[in-house]
Amino acid sequence: MSVDDWFMNEILPLEGALIRFLRANWRNGGDVEDFRQEVYARVYAAASRQLPDYPKALLFTTARNLLIDQVRRSKIVSIETVMDLDTLNVSRDEASMQQVITAREEIRMLEAELEKLPRRTREIFLLRKVDGLSQRETAKRLRVSEPTVERHLRKGILHLANALNRTTSRRDETAQRTAGEMKRFEDEN
């Protein structure tokens, strides 16, 4: 199937739902048509590389990410907007409850690990990765050199990646133990 056919059969029928989603989650209704076009362009580009297994999830995840990008760019974020975007779960029908729980646990763990970072490293990480400031803007705001920003950012990312790997490894080990125990139970009965 060509990307054009896939797009017409899988994505365009979801246009009404996409527009309702954008209107419900963005205060300025005048932006919705532009957002719809941007979402379509991103989805088409992704599908050009590989047709996705879950087109609906791709469409709404792309829309959610676009809205998050717009919030970051606006630099003025109300707590209601953050809460609204946080509660969006556009692929709930695609994800199991276990996946949702696992993702939430990972977010809580990363938040806790972020608090363990040295103050300067945490500040730099938040400015660069959450607020979306450039390396130069971050350096200027904190009155440090750009190599200092780069070094602290690298340190923060490495710390969080290692913590995530440890959590994933523990979860995999637990899943393997549970599967082994289930198999022994089934064999005994």
Q: What is the pLDDT of residues 71-121, one digit of tens each?
A: 777 654 444 444 455 555 544 444 456 666 666 777 788 888 888 999 999
Q: How far apart are CA 136 and CA 186, in angstroms?
A: 60
13: domain range?
3-87
Q: How many domains does the chain have?
A: 2
Residue 181 structure tokens:
């125990």
pLDDT > 70: percent of the chain: 72
Please identify, among 37, 59, 87, the residue that sits at the C-terminal boundary of a domain.
Answer: 87
Across 81-85, 152-156, 177-181, least confident range: 81-85
**Which range, 50-54, 101-105, 164-168, has the best average confidence (pLDDT)?**
50-54
Q: Cα separations (Å) of 122 from 101, 131, 134, 160, 165? A: 26, 12, 15, 11, 19
183 and 102 in a common domain: yes
> Residue with structure tokens 């029928």?
13
* pLDDT for 164 beyond 70: yes
Confidence at residue 172, expressed as pLDDT on a 0 to 100 scale: 63
CB atoms within 10 A of CB 174: 10
Mean pLDDT of 46-59: 88
Confidence at residue 79, expressed as pLDDT on a 0 to 100 scale: 45
176 and 135 in a common domain: yes
Please identify, among 31, 59, 87, the residue that sits at the C-terminal boundary of a domain.
Answer: 87
Confidence at residue 138, expressed as pLDDT on a 0 to 100 scale: 92
Confidence at residue 31, expressed as pLDDT on a 0 to 100 scale: 81
Which of residues 55 and 103 earns the better pLDDT score? 55
Mean pLDDT of 151-167: 84
Please identify, among 58, 87, 116, the residue that sits at the C-terminal boundary of a domain.
Answer: 87
The distance of Cα 39 from the centroid of its chain, to the nearest Å, equals 16
Mean pLDDT of 1-28: 87
104 and 57 in a common domain: no
Confidence at residue 163, expressed as pLDDT on a 0 to 100 scale: 82
For the chain, what is the mean pLDDT? 79
113 and 148 in a common domain: yes
69 and 102 in a common domain: no
pTM: 0.43
Q: How far apart are CA 53 and CA 154, in angstroms?
A: 34
Across 63-67, 153-157, 179-183, least confident range: 179-183
**Which range, 23-27, 40-44, 184-188, has the best average confidence (pLDDT)?**
40-44
Q: Which amino acid is at 13?
A: P
CATH number, domain of 8, equals 1.10.1740
78 and 106 in a common domain: no
